[in-house]
Amino acid sequence: MTSRILDGDAMSWRTRRTGVKWGLYSPDVLPLWVAEMDAAPCPPVVEAVDAAMRRGDTGYPHGRDFVEAGTLYAARTWSWTIDPSRSFPVADVMIGLSELLRGVTSPGGPVVLSSPVYNAFFDFADMLGRRVVDAPLTAAGRLDPGALDQAFAAATTGGERAAYLLCNPQNPTGTVHTEAELSALAELAHRHGVIVIADEIHAPIVHQGTFTPYLTVPGGERGVSLISASKAWNLAGLKAALVTVGPDAPQELLLHEVHTHGSSHLGQIAAVAAWTSGHDWLAQVTREISDNAALLGRLLAQGAPQIGYAPPASTYLAWLDCRTLELGDDPAALLRERGRVAFSSGPTFGQTGNGFVRVNLATSPEILEEAVERMVGALA
């Protein structure tokens, strides 16, 4: 591909998109919040979905091709051998995750998180009536074995069943967990009897380091992983994800057949096309995201050097430390009010997110430049 994938101005995207990213706020607010790309679609995906619509292939999904394509992609990309008999289509990662939590925790039971972490983890734990136990990341955004050990011990006091929700790679920090870090997590989880459920939705987009699937590390075979093409190929609205249960995981993690019904047939067709034929598109969009991450660093150094920022090692999300600006716990609220630019609010990612904002880098350089300009103007 030669033309830019992350392209276009705010007016063009606002007229082309009817979803939540461009529709939630008033037209004068520039949205760089929810994890959705302002991207030209992947041509093989467009062709596959268009062909399905033209032939009327819009019935219930079978799932076989979807599971096969996901397992082949994992093997080719990460040398990860997945057992298809222990893999299940679900509507999306969070729906699959919530059903897994129902199976391995009890109402009111503990779910351990490492904040700052994907804000929907907190929402789904609340929806399910589970209580959150925090094992915060280190100041460098790494998994903290001491905090995990303490949280796992607290969560399992009295014999309660507990689960740990792993974000791998990490949202919002962009941290790529190492094999050693994940192995240490697996050992601690086994020692305390905690089930690890790994959200690995951002795995295809890595800029620095190497993604390690949780189920491939020693001890990881007792956990479960969820992957999807939705983030990397911008397909969230098409609804399809893959749950893979480790060979030594508890039987209650093997989902019932009815859990597969929510996965969209068109979503599965799109994912198969992405996993099998979308490599060039993904490589280009990953380069463009890296370029935007570097651009953001230059813009902040020029206009707001007091904001702490390191380019993310993965994902298309930037985590900005605004605490020295003394804007309160939620700088995003002030920036939206004064600058008319929408970022994700740090406190929604846990208490360790107070004073931070999350910025979506998957947009055109022009929109990113305008967003920083508005932010700097609001601070002035």
Tell if the pTM clears 0.85, that is, is over it: yes
Strand partners, 320: 357
CA distances from 10 to 190, 217, 333, 365, 373 (A): 49, 43, 20, 11, 14
Q: What is the DSSP letter of 326?
A: -
The residue to which tokens 């689960």 are assigned: 163
Distance of alpha carbon 15 from alpha carbon 35, whole angstroms = 19
Secondary structure (DSSP) of 195-209: EEEEE-TTTT-BSSS
Candidates 139, 32, 29, 38; CA nearest to 358 is: 32
Please compute Rg for the chain using Cα positions.
20
The number of angstroms, rounded, from the C-alpha of 316 to the middle of its chain's C-alpha atoms is 9
pLDDT averaged over 10-residue windows placed end to end, the chain, 380 residues? 88 94 97 98 98 97 96 98 96 97 96 98 98 98 98 96 98 98 98 98 98 98 98 97 96 90 97 98 98 98 98 98 97 98 98 97 98 96
Backbone angles phi, psi at 317, to 5 degrees: -120, 135
CA distance 144 to 161: 21
Best CA proximity match to 121, nearest among 93, 149, 147, 155: 93
Token pair, residue 27, equals: 């037209």
pLDDT at 252: 87
Phi, psi of 358 (to 5 degrees): -110, 130
The domain at 47-277 falls in which architecture? 3-Layer(aba) Sandwich (3.40)
**3-state secondary structure (DSSP) of residue 308:** strand
On the question of a cis peptide bond just before residue 365, with omega within 30 degrees of 0, the verdict is no
3-state secondary structure 158-185: CCCCEEEEEECCCCCCCCCCCHHHHHHH
Q: Which residues contact 173 (CB under 8 A, 6 or more apart)?
A: 116, 137, 141, 312, 319
177 CB-near residues (< 8 Å, 6+ apart): 142, 143, 166, 168, 169, 170, 212
Kind of pairing, strands 110-113 and 162-167? parallel
User: Under CATH, domain 10-42+279-379 is a member of which superfamily?
Assistant: Aspartate Aminotransferase, domain 1 (3.90.1150.10)
Residue 126, helix vs strand vs coil: helix
Domain definitions of the chain by residue range: 10-42+279-379, 47-277
Q: What is the 3-state secondary structure (H, E, C) of 341-378?
A: EECEEHHHHCHHHCCEEEEECCCCHHHHHHHHHHHHHH
Place of tokens 């007229």: 15
